[in-house]
Amino acid sequence: MPKELTVEEDKLRELNTEYLEKYGFHDPEDFYSIKSEKGLSEEVVRWISAIKEEPEWMTDIRVKAYHEFLKKPMPTWGADLSGIDFDQIRYFVRASEKQSTDWNDVPEDIKNTFDKLGIPEAERKFLSGVGAQYESEVVYHKIREDLEQKGVLFLDMDSGLREYPELVKEYFGTVIPYTDNKFAALNTAVWSGGSFIYVPPGVHIEMPLQAYFRINTENMGQFERTLIIVDEGAFVHYVEGCTAPVYSTASLHSAVVEIIVKEGGRGRYTTIQNWSNNIYNLVTKRAVAYKDATMEWVDANLGSKVTMKYPAVYLMEPGAHGEVLSIAFAGDGQHQDAGGKIVHVARDTTSKIVSKSISKGEGRASYRGLLKVYPEASGVRSNVVCDALLLDSASRSDTYPYIEIEEDDVTVGHEASVSKVGEEQLFYLMSRGLSESEANAMIVNGFIEPLAKELPIEFSVELRRLIEIQLEGSVG
């Protein structure tokens, strides 16, 4: 029996119906030529590795990670994860057997989907390359010629492993080892898809590299694995965005993203996440930045049932700079447990965490952040700002700022604020003709504006639109 839909779910369903009509999502099930049975075992892990014809060392890592996953208890310090049933998840689904490098080779119904998503046009306009993850594996991948000429590698992770096994072996799991946490272990055991990017020394990719992700099979987990290496003095901006159709039962998205930024390099990773309201979104993202390097995470979380995500930067050598800009919107029944983590390993490193969270109805947004300064990491400067906005009296916001400083010569600022959308603000805007929900949306969009303007323009517009949809007709 389908449960009663909340207003938000209705909205989301409407939105998705629109997608269904416009974009023809929901392709025939039998299209997925290979998929694993539900549930996880060492056999399933080995089978996934075998199907992909992976080198032995990868199979070994997967198996070890699987046992680590079994050993590690469920984390209980954050959001409620008791709704996850690991036996009900399908750990591998392959959308198409063959990798495509040419748009013409992409299977027709997938192509229709992406055509409607505007990928080819978008590509012409501003993308340097497209990695489109359809189900568990990337089906379409194209690197623009100028990128290829510069020696940039932009592949899906499976192809990266096949074509550049030495490079992958050198870095895979070095930033986030499978022993890091239960979900990193799970991802390492069953990963599929994700992006592999290498930017050679001194190469600046001006246009953002973009990937489109979505989940399309009920009860199917997505375990993509991304590895980005920004070599000395290089620059890359990677952008991922997610839309997902509505499902009736819970699903799990558990990705791992590892980034290495070498001396003088700069990496920026932007996410806009809008999973449907039944998905557990448990993602481990971490970067290491070396001498004079900069790493920036821009992370916007709107959807999902539960999100736990704390993008991290380890500042390994002097002059390194790390930033985490996080936006979280928790609607009814949602728990966004988001934030950031900065570890100052070396002296003279700087960092900034800015978090803006919004809770609506019975939504709950938590900021969870860690700022750590190692002993003898002198001259460190860091600033943490976390602002929360509550839309209703039932809304909830929590702040868990962990600060561990083991050095005296540091400058650390920390500001936190919680505000409620005030009666006076609403009255002022309504006295000019805006409805209550329009006024609310305007206040919320103003609240996130300092971070929203860091997003690529089309993401910024999409984010505003999503927030308006979340607030339409739901107030009062």
Partner 1 sequence: MGATLEIRNLHVSIDETPILRGVDLTINQGETHALMGPNGSGKSTLAYAMLGHPAYSVDEGEVLFDGVDVLELEPDERSRLGLFLAFQYPVSVPGVTVANFLRSAINSRRKQENAEDPGISIPEFRRLMKERMDFLDIDHSFAGRYLNAGFSGGEKKRNEILQLAVLQPRFAILDETDSGLDIDALRIVADGVNKLKGPELGVLVITHYKRMLDYLNPEYVHLMMDGRIVESGGAALAEEIEDYGYQPFFEKHGLEVTEE
Minimal distance, residue 385 CB to partner 1, in Å = 14
Interaction between residue 232 and partner 1 (CB under 8 A): no
CA angle 105, 106, 107 (to 5 degrees): 110
Among 438, 454, 458, 472, binds partner 1 (CB under 8 A): 438
Neighbour-count burial for 164-175, b at 16+ CB within 10 Å, e otherwise: eeebbeebbbeb
Nearest of 171, 211, 179, 173 to residue 191 by alpha carbon: 173
Interaction between residue 179 and partner 1 (CB under 8 A): no
Interaction between residue 435 and partner 1 (CB under 8 A): yes
Q: Cβ contacts of residue 230 below 8 Å, gap of 6+?
A: 199, 236, 259, 260, 261, 262, 265, 266, 267, 293
Among 75, 413, 422, 473, binds partner 1 (CB under 8 A): 422
Instruction: Spell out, one character per residue from 380 to 419, where the chain touches partner 1: x when CB under 8 A holds, - when not.
Output: ----------------------------------------
Tokens of 392: 């209703």
Interaction between residue 92 and partner 1 (CB under 8 A): no
Minimal distance, residue 261 CB to partner 1, in Å = 30
Minimal distance, residue 338 CB to partner 1, in Å = 20
Among 20, 385, 418, 434, binds partner 1 (CB under 8 A): 434
Q: How far apart are the first and last CA of the chain?
A: 30
Among 445, 458, 469, 472, binds partner 1 (CB under 8 A): 445
| Nearer CB in complex with partner 1: 228/442 | 442
Interaction between residue 429 and partner 1 (CB under 8 A): yes
Tokens of 122: 């978008």
| Nearer CB in complex with partner 1: 136/470 | 470
Interaction between residue 473 and partner 1 (CB under 8 A): no
Minimal distance, residue 426 CB to partner 1, in Å = 9
Query: Total residues at the site for partner 1 (CB under 8 A)?
Result: 24
130-to-83, 144, 195, 301, 450 alpha-carbon distances in Å: 34, 9, 10, 22, 28
Interaction between residue 448 and partner 1 (CB under 8 A): yes
| Nearer CB in complex with partner 1: 81/430 | 430
Minimal distance, residue 419 CB to partner 1, in Å = 10
In this chain, which stretch among 162-170, 331-339, 347-355, 434-442 interacts with partner 1, using CB under 8 A? Answer: 434-442
Interaction between residue 449 and partner 1 (CB under 8 A): yes
Interaction between residue 75 and partner 1 (CB under 8 A): no
Tell me the Ramachandran region of residue 347: left when phi exceeds 0, alpha when psi lies from -120 to 50, beta otherwise.
beta
Interface contacts to partner 1, rule CB under 8 A? 422-425, 427-436, 438-439, 442-443, 445-450
